[in-house]
Amino acid sequence: MNKDLEIIEGRIEVLFKRVPGTQYRINVVNDRFDHTYNFFFQSQPQHQRIKSVPLHTYQEYDLSKLERLIEKLKTYTALSIEYTGFAEQKWPSSGKAIQTKVRYDEN
């Protein structure tokens, strides 16, 4: 997990430019078909489209391990983290819903 975290943090460092008026966030996508979790860096300058850049594919398809990775990532960055493909799933440690916003095309 530490190697995965180092890769993600290193790529965030390169991509996070801190441009005023630009929104930045991390998107974690549950790939149910390949049984992986994909991390994306998203940036959106004001009045422009979102640009999404792949950061890393986490091969450990286990929610407990993903939760620990996310906790460590949150100590590194204050960027918002959004979740896609986790509808109706809960974090193992707290029982809280992982994904709070569900898009219509995720069913």
Pairwise CA distance, residues 49 & 27, whole Å: 15
Domain for residue 107, yes or no?
Answer: no
The number of domains in the chain is 1
Q: Which domain holds residue 76?
A: 2-101
Domain for residue 52, yes or no?
Answer: yes
Report the pLDDT value the prediction gives residue 105, as an integer from 0 to 100.
Answer: 52
Q: Six-digit token pair at 36? A: 């992986």
Domain for residue 72, yes or no?
Answer: yes
Domain for residue 47, yes or no?
Answer: yes
Q: What is the pLDDT of residues 54-100, one digit of tens each?
A: 999 999 999 999 999 999 999 999 999 999 999 989 999 999 999 98
3-state secondary structure of 33: coil
Residue 37, phi then psi, degrees to nearest 5: -120, 125
